[in-house]
């Protein structure tokens, strides 16, 4: 199935989880600048080193770097549609994406906005475990993973993310409120915004996301 979607929402809103479920279920390719940057950092590449300080403190990496990452990815994989998890996050990024898509005459199908309360964000971030190899995300409150923190898909180690700490989270939320929130208006005006209650469990949210994907011609 070929769809072009972006997933937007606060840290802990479930973007990564939904992106992974979409790609497993519908086969739409997914990418996440956050995941790419974590991998680059682990590998010690120039990009990883250049952006490590910013990501570690929960700031947003310069737009130019992120847009180049997305353009490179689209050149390689864009022919099969996409799900962007955590892109765009600023108005200049959203405008760049519009220009890229207009140039290729491939409009966005919709922008999914996962609405979550502060309580949900705090609960999810404080218990989040993520696979270091494939990015699968789960919760340390799930007994099976608390006892055996191994990824069920690739056997990679499930670990806490370095930026999932209270002080860093506060900064990530400030960045979200000041730089990402305006994107809701942007996509609303384009008629592509779809708001979904992200406070529910992953299956309930995915059922709604799936309906949207299936209904799109």
Q: Does 66 bind ligand AMP (CB under 6 A)?
A: yes
In what helix (H) or strand (E) does residue 193 lie, and over which residues does it extend? strand 193-197
Is 179 designated active site? Answer: no
Distance CA 210, CA 3 (A): 12
Nearest to 166 by CA among 199, 130, 125: 125
DSSP for 137-191 reads EEETTSHHHHH--B-TTT-PBEE--TT-SHHHHHHHHHHIIIIITHHHHHHHHHT
* Alpha carbons 194 and 196: distance in angstroms, whole number: 7
Which of 3, 4, 41, 172 is catalytic? The answer is 172
Say whether residue 198 binds ligand AMP (CB under 6 A).
no
Q: Does 3 bind ligand AMP (CB under 6 A)?
A: no
Cβ proximity to ligand AMP: between 177 and 216 the closer is: 177
Is position 212 an interface residue for ligand AMP (rule: CB under 6 A)? no
124 is catalytic: no
* Contact indicator for 94, 84 with CB cutoff of 8 Å: no
| Interaction mask 28-47, ligand AMP, x per CB under 6 A | ----xxxx-x----------
Among the listed residues 14, 78, 81, 86, the single contact to ligand AMP using CB under 6 A: 86
Choice between 61 and 91, CB closer to ligand AMP: 61
Burial class (CB in 10 A: 0-12, 13-18, 19+), 170: exposed
Give the chain's count of helices (H) and strands (E).
10, 8
- For residue 131, the minimal CB distance to ligand AMP (Å) is 13
**Residue 172 CB-half CA count within 13 A:** 23
Q: 15 catalytic, yes or no?
A: yes
Query: Which of the following is catalytic: 3, 15, 41, 124?
Result: 15
Q: Measured from the CB of residue 11, what is the shortest distance to ligand AMP in angstroms?
A: 6
In angstroms, what CA-CA distances link 14 with 41, 124, 134, 151?
Answer: 23, 9, 16, 18
Site for ligand AMP (CB under 6 A): which residue of 4, 172, 206, 213? 172
Out of 161, 194, 200, 202, the active site residue is 161
Total of chain residues touching ligand AMP, rule CB under 6 A: 20
Chain contacts with ligand AMP (rule: CB under 6 A): 11, 32-35, 37, 54-55, 58-61, 66, 86-89, 93, 163, 172
Active-site residue list: 15, 89, 128, 161, 172
């Amino acid at each position: 199935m070929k769809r072009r979607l972006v997933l937007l929402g606060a840290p802990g809103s479930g973007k990564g989880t939904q992106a992974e479920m979409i790609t497993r279920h519908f086969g739409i390719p997914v990418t996440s600048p956050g995941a790419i940057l974590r991998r680059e950092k682990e590998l010690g590449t120039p990009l990883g080193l250049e952006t490590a300080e910013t990501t570690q403190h929960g700031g947003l990496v310069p737009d130019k770097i992120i847009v180049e990452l997305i353009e490179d990815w689209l050149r390689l994989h864009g022919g099969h549609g996409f799900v962007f998890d955590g892109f765009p996050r600023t108005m200049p990024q959203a405008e760049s994406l519009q220009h890229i898509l207009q140039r290729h005459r491939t409009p966005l199908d919709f922008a999914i906005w996962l609405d979550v309360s502060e309580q949900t964000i705090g609960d999810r971030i404080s218990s989040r475990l993520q696979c270091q190899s494939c990015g699968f995300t789960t919760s340390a409150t799930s007994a099976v993973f608390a006892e055996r923190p191994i990824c069920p898909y690739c056997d990679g180690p499930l670990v806490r993310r370095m930026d999932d700490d209270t002080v860093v989270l506060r900064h990530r939320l400030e960045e979200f409120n000041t730089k990402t929130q305006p994107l809701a208006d942007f996509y609303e005006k384009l008629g592509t915004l779809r708001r979904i209650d992200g406070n529910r469990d992953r299956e309930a949210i995915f059922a709604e996301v799936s309906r949207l994907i299936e209904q799109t011609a």
